Amino acid sequence: MRTTAVAHPNIALLKYWGKQDAPGNLPATPSLSITLDSLTTTTTVAEADSDQFRLNGQVAADAKVLRTLANWRRDHPIPPLAISSRNNFPTAAGLASSASGFAALATAVDAHCGLGLTKAERSELARRGSASAARSIHGGFVTLAGPDWRAAQLLPGAAWPLRVVVAIAATGPKAVPSTEGMERSRTTSPHFDAWVASAAPDFAAMKQAVSTRDFAALADLAEASCLQMHALMFSSRPPLLYWTGATVECLRTIRELRAEGCQVFATVDAGPQVKAVCEPRDAERVEAALRRIGGVAETLQAGLGPGATASIQRAISANACCSLHS
Ligand code: 2P0
């Protein structure tokens, strides 16, 4: 028996950067994200003699995956697993591959081992692997906030079908992984307490902007959260600078487009990629403008996508199998 799960990355519009000084991989701040559609992580699990992990076809000694499985086994009966995971987009380059990765893994393990988890419980499992992964359990607009730190859907994607244009400025893995970077910011940036203090009112305002489909308010709040997070990164010691020159050019171009009347705003995560969130009618114009920027290797577009799902394949004979969808 094998189980395959599919999950999509999410892009935070209100950012999570920094953890609580407590067990459970709990964020220090609430966050709000959109789950994408065309970027996909597909993860298959099957029982094995010992845990094995392959990423994009290569054996990978991923300590975070093995540590997370050990953490899950404290609460759930999970046998040794052979795990094979594939991304159809660059891994570990600020495109949220750990979010879709741990959401797919939690979903595959839940279905494969018959754990019978609710979505909220699956979100908690995913969060223990990577906090942003808690949000990829759900589709559309998603919140992750205390006190339980289990993600919830705020609005389905179909209710406000925004588009996301991604400008890829570099495809290599990032210099400082997110977990290490956010711990550096928490312990060294003089602005960390101000970041945490502003999160609750910004979260309430952004929930309101999404609920009322107020694009201008969402744009202002999302750009402020993004730039405040990068200010936190710049002010860490040693500083975290994930941007390239192309990142800055994309940000400037998106500002100009907005000034010309395009319904678009920018957000950047722990990498150089720029995500332009826009109304569908402006997506082609935004993509064409970003593609012209020197240093932008490629652009891609996504819509808002669904949450993570799994299907179980039971072998009946060498040539046939049946699928059960959950
Ligand atoms: C986010 N990021 O809210 C923010 C914005 C990157 C920038 O969540 O330590 O891989 O595994 O919980 O979830 C990236 O951090 O970190 C992230 P861990 P994660 O999407």
pLDDT at 320 over 90: no
**Dist. CA 42–CA 105, nearest whole Å:** 9
Strand partners, 192: none
15 lines ligand 1 (CB under 6 A): yes
144 lines ligand 1 (CB under 6 A): no
| C-beta of residue 202 within 8 angstroms of C-beta of residue 143 | no
147 upstream amide cis, omega within 30 of 0? yes
Enumerate residues 6+ apart whose C-beta is below 8 A from 30. Answer: 14, 16, 143, 144, 145, 146, 199, 200, 203
pLDDT at 317 over 80: no
pLDDT tens, 143-188?
999 999 999 999 999 999 999 999 998 877 778 999 999 999 999 9
Q: Which atom of ligand 1 is nearest to the CA of 127?
A: 12
Q: Which atom of ligand 1 is nearest to the CA of 177?
A: 10
pLDDT at 274 over 90: yes
Q: Which atom of ligand 1 is nearest to the CA of 130?
A: 11
pLDDT tens, 2-59?
999 999 999 999 999 999 998 999 999 999 999 999 999 999 999 999 999 999 999 9
203 lines ligand 1 (CB under 6 A): no
pLDDT attached to residue 314: 81
112 lines ligand 1 (CB under 6 A): no
Query: To test ligand 1's pocket by mutation, which of 178, 185, 269, 275 has the most ligand atoms within 8 angstroms of CB?
Result: 178
Mean of the pLDDT values across residues 194-207? 98
pLDDT tens, 220-263?
999 999 999 999 999 999 999 999 999 999 999 999 999 999 99
DSSP secondary structure code for residue 39 in this structure: -
Between residues 324 and 180, the one the model is more confident about: 180
pLDDT attached to residue 321: 41
100 lines ligand 1 (CB under 6 A): no
Enumerate residues 6+ apart whose C-beta is below 8 A from 65. Answer: 53, 83, 105, 129
Q: Which domains does the chain have, with CATH numbers?
A: 2-158 (3.30.230.10), 163-302 (3.30.70.890)
270 lines ligand 1 (CB under 6 A): yes
- Expressed in angstroms and rounded, the spacing between residue 17 Cα and the centre of ligand 1 is 6
238 upstream amide cis, omega within 30 of 0? yes
Instruction: Please tell me the residue having the least CA distance from ligand 1 atom 20.
Output: 12
**C-alpha torsion 107→113→115→121, nearest 10:** -30
98 lines ligand 1 (CB under 6 A): yes
pLDDT tens, 259-270?
999 999 999 999
pLDDT at 132 over 60: yes
**Dist. CA 274–CA 257, nearest whole Å:** 14
pLDDT attached to residue 172: 72
Enumerate residues 6+ apart whose C-beta is below 8 A from 31. Answer: 12, 14, 15, 16, 132, 135, 143, 144, 145, 203
Enumerate residues 6+ apart whose C-beta is below 8 A from 218. Answer: 13, 206, 209, 210, 265
**Dist. CA 40–CA 104, nearest whole Å:** 10
In terms of Cβ atoms closer than 10 Å to its own Cβ (0-12, 13-18, 19+), residue 74 is exposed
pLDDT tens, 58-117?
998 889 999 999 999 999 999 999 999 999 987 655 677 789 999 999 999 999 999 999
**Dist. CA 22–CA 28, nearest whole Å:** 10
pLDDT at 136 over 60: yes
| 278, containing H or E segment | strand 274-278
Task: List the structure tokens of 188.
Answer: 């060294």
